[in-house]
Amino acid sequence: MKTYALQNISSCETASTELERNLPGQQAPWLLKASDGDVIAYFNVVPKKAGSQWGGHCVTADVSGRHYNEDAAVLSILRHIQSVVGGEITDDNGFVA
Domains delineated in the chain: 2-91 (3.30.1400.10)
What is the reported pTM?
A: 0.90
**H helices present in 1-97, as ranges:** 12-22, 71-85
Residue 84 scores a pLDDT above 90: yes
pLDDT band at 79 (very low <50, low <70, confident <90, very high): very high
- CA dihedral (92, 43, 34, 1) in degrees, to 10, reads 30
Does pLDDT of 93 surpass 70?
A: yes
Predicted local confidence at residue 89, as pLDDT: 95
